[in-house]
Structure formats: C-alpha cells, structure tokens
Amino acid sequence: MKLLNKTVLVILVVMLPFGLTGGWLLYKLVDYAIISDVDEQLNRRMMHLKERRERMPDRPLESLGLDSDVEIRSAGPAFHQPPVYVSDFKRGRDGKKIKVRILKSSLTMLGKNYVVTLKQIYDQQQKLTWNISVIVVGTYWILLALTGIVILQISKGLWRPFYELLDRIREYRIDQPGHLNVPISSTAEFKELNHTLTAFTQYVTNQYISQRQFSENASHEIQTPLAIALGNLDTLMQSNNLHESDLRRVYQSKEALQRLSNLSQTLLLLTKIDNHQFVVNSQINVSAMLTEIVAMYKEFTSHQNLHFHTSIQTDIILEAHPYLMEILFANLIKNAVRHNLDGGSIYLSLTPSHLSIINTGQCLPFPADQLFDRFSKDPANQESTGLGLAIVKQIVSLHNMRIQYTYAGETSKHTFLVFFEQTLAVKSGNSEESLRKV
C-alpha cells in the first residue's frame, strides 16, 4: 500500500471511534436536554394544578379540566411521595407505541394529600433527537471523507518530488556516465534527501570506477608476467640439456602458472559480470551456437568413451550477450564431461523454453545448495578452479533466467535446467514466430 493511501486510511481509522463516540454523546446530550425540558413542563403542570384547585376549592376535581394524562388519587394524611420521573410507552389511537414521560408525586391541596400522576408525550422530540444526531454524524463523515480526499490530493502534490526522485533512481546506472539528476524541491526534507543521495551515488560511482580500473589493471599486470613466465617455460622445455626430473618440475611449474592465469581471467570475468559491464542486447541463434560447442566437445572427448545424446531444436533466437552465452553453454557441458563416469552419458536438450543437460556421475562431495558458490569443488580435483558454475549462475541472473539442479541417486544422474525467462523467437523459413514468456 502506498504511503499516501496508508496515511489517509490511518486518519480515517483514527477518526472512526471519534465519530461513533461523538454521535453517541450528541444523542445522549440532546436526549437529556429534551427530557429535562419535559420534566420541567410536568413540574409546571403539577404546580398549575395545585393553583387551580386552591382558586376553586368548592368545585370537584373532575371539573378542573383534567384529561386522560392526569390521574389524582386520595392518600392518607401521613403519606408522602417524593417526585419520581420515569419514561414509559403507551398505546396511541392507531395502536402504535408512543413514548411518554411520567411524573408521580404527592400533592397537598386544601389540606388534603393526593397522589398525582402526570403524563407528557415526547415521542416527536425523541424522533427529532435521533434525526438531529443522524444528520450531524452524517455531516461529520461527509466532511471527514472530503477532508481525506483533499489531504490525498494535497499530499500527492507535496510528495511529487519524492516519486520523481524514485523514478530517476530506478533509471540511474552506476556504469553509465553522468550524475544522478535529482528533482528540484522547496521542501527542506526533500532537499536534504536529494543532497544525501547525490553525495552517496557520487561516492558509490567513484568506488565502482576505482574497483573496475583496479580489477582490469590488476588482471593485465598479472597476465603479462604470467605470459612471459609461461613462454620462458615453453622455451626451457624444448631444451635438450634438462634431466627428466628437471623437465617434470618445469612442467609442473607451467601447469601451476596456467591455472593461476585461468583463475585470474575467471575472476576478472566474474567482476565484469557483477559490475554489469556486459550489455544484453543481441539477438543470438542459440541453436547454432550450442551445436558448434557440442561438436567441439564431442571431438575433444572421443577418447573418454562418453556417449552424447542431443536434441536441439533449430533456429531458436534469444536476446543475450553472445560471449557470455558461449561461456554458459561451454561451462555446463565441460562440467558434465569433467564429472562424468567412465563410459557414462550426457543428455542435452534445447527447446524454446529451456536448456537441459543431464550427465551420469557420482553424488556431490558437498551440499547441493553450495554447488553454485565460488570455489566450491571436489577436493580430489585439483585442476578445477571451482568457479565454472559460479559464472554460470551469474550469467543466468544477468539474463533474467533461472537455473535448477537435481540429482537422482537411483540413476546417478545430475540434471541442470536453464529456463529462458525472456521472450524468444523461432525462425521458420522467412517467417518468425514469437513465443510467449515462459
């Protein structure tokens, strides 16, 4: 929920008990005022009755103009009834209940005690009380709703610089030249936010540029002496003056330097992927690319007695970076070859929705959730850098794909599935058929 909507909702929720409580209090206050007024009228009628009796002592009580709402009964000389006010209902002429107020009190007239009961209808006043309460509470809620709408509209204007800043942050790329262009605002808090973000992005950009330059320069500076050392070792190995033990040491040194060179290049590649230095904007025929890579590995592994089973749908077009896709396919196939069994099999399938590579092999020597971590490898395999599948994971993430790994112990098969999340196209002759996102 957006902050603006949440603010208005909180205001409405907070004001809800005030509205209900205020309506109830209003009803009670008006009802109390009306009842007090009716009680005052009853008391005046009681006094008026006593005055008429005293002015006309010889006339019987029935001749005093009493109506059905007045009841007078004689009482004993010692009887005393304090005034009692109660609310009750009586039946009207149409049979409906009508609310009345009753005053019952003792009254001394001409030296005699009487019990007088007076009734006063106040049904209309009660209805008026309810109507007034409904109108006031309804007006309160209408004003509250209008206030919420006004607050929402005003807040949208006040928060517009914040949303503009969010849009510009989303569009900002640390690997692109230029600074973060923040919107102009007269609000002090937004000014401080803009200043802080500008300083922060400038700092991060400088750190990014420094890190990228360092990684590129460090890799170049490492590769140069490594290339010289490897060249010298190649020359030394061609010498006829070396004993067999010396030649073995030279060969081991060359292998160690070659692994160091490969490690340096792999770490540089991972750094470039992490820094988003590769732009994914090329249309690639992944079917043709994968076919060439599979053919190359079939030739290299012909002596290993591995059985390749391939099913590659032709002319699948994928928007990707060509160099990274070659590395993705090559690393997955190399992994299937390197960790296979003698006389094992590799099953490779490519469809518009996914790539599947299945190979026979022993179970992992470490937990499966560490498979794509950097430097995760079989301790018995010293030739591996442990970075191949980490690179695969990074390439998959860069292209908004998904990779899934499973191992079936009963068949000793490792399965890698790469799901293509972005839109694909399959060419057929001169036509091109677009496929849905999978």
Each residue of 159-178: pLDDT tens digit? 888 888 888 888 887 767 67
pLDDT of residue 436: 35
pLDDT band at residue 437 under the 50/70/90 scheme: very low
In the numeric block, which tokens belong to residue 316?
């699948």
DSSP-derived secondary structure letter, 369: G
- How many degrees, rounded to 5, is the angle at CA 48 between CA 47 and CA 53? 100
134-138, 178-182, 428-432: which has the minimum mean pLDDT?
Answer: 428-432
* Nearest Cα residue to 325 out of 220, 381, 398: 398
What stretch(es) of the chain map to CATH 3.30.565.10?
Answer: 282-434
Report how far residue 141's alpha carbon sits from residue 365's, in angstroms, rounded to the nearest whole number. 68
The length of the chain in residues reads 438
Cβ partners under 8 Å of residue 144, min gap 6: 12, 15, 19
**What type of residue sits at position 67?**
D
Q: Are 99 and 126 in contact (CB under 8 A)?
A: yes
pLDDT of residue 383: 64
pLDDT band at residue 360 under the 50/70/90 scheme: very high
Q: Are 121 and 87 in contact (CB under 8 A)?
A: no
DSSP helix, strand, coil percent of the chain (3-state; round to 5): 55, 20, 25
The whole-number average pLDDT for the span 329-336 is 91
Kindly tell me if the per-residue pLDDT of 426 is higher than 80: no
In the numeric block, which tokens belong to residue 419?
């799901």
Report how far residue 233's alpha carbon sits from residue 410's, in angstroms, rounded to the nearest whole number. 47
Q: Which DSSP helix (H) or strand (E) runs through 51?
A: helix 3-55
pLDDT band at residue 348 under the 50/70/90 scheme: very high
CATH class of 188-274: mainly alpha
pLDDT band at residue 60 under the 50/70/90 scheme: low
| Strand partners for 356 | 349, 417
The whole-number average pLDDT for the span 210-235 is 76
Instruction: Write the CATH number of the domain with boundaries 282-434.
Output: 3.30.565.10
Report how far residue 168's alpha carbon sits from residue 189's, in angstroms, rounded to the nearest whole number. 18
Higher-scoring residue by pLDDT: 354, 61: 354
pTM above 0.85, yes or no: no
pLDDT band at residue 432 under the 50/70/90 scheme: very low
Cβ partners under 8 Å of residue 83, min gap 6: 43, 103, 104, 105
Kindly tell me if the per-residue pLDDT of 95 is higher than 80: no
What stretch(es) of the chain map to CATH 3.30.450?
Answer: 3-144
The whole-number average pLDDT for the span 182-193 is 83
Report how far residue 148's alpha carbon sits from residue 146's, in angstroms, rounded to the nearest whole number. 5
In the numeric block, which tokens belong to residue 321?
């970076």
Going across the sheet that includes 70-74, the strands are 70-74, 112-121, 97-109, 84-91
Cβ partners under 8 Å of residue 12, min gap 6: 144, 148
pLDDT of residue 371: 85
What stretch(es) of the chain map to CATH 1.20.58?
Answer: 188-274
Report how far residue 42's alpha carbon sits from residue 118's, in angstroms, rounded to the nearest whole number. 7
pLDDT of residue 380: 65
Kindly tell me if the per-residue pLDDT of 308 is higher than 90: no
Residue 150, helix vs strand vs coil: helix
The whole-number average pLDDT for the span 148-153 is 82
pLDDT of residue 46: 82
The whole-number average pLDDT for the span 194-211 is 83
Which of 1.10.287, 3.30.70, 1.20.1740, 3.30.450 would CATH assign to domain 3-144? 3.30.450
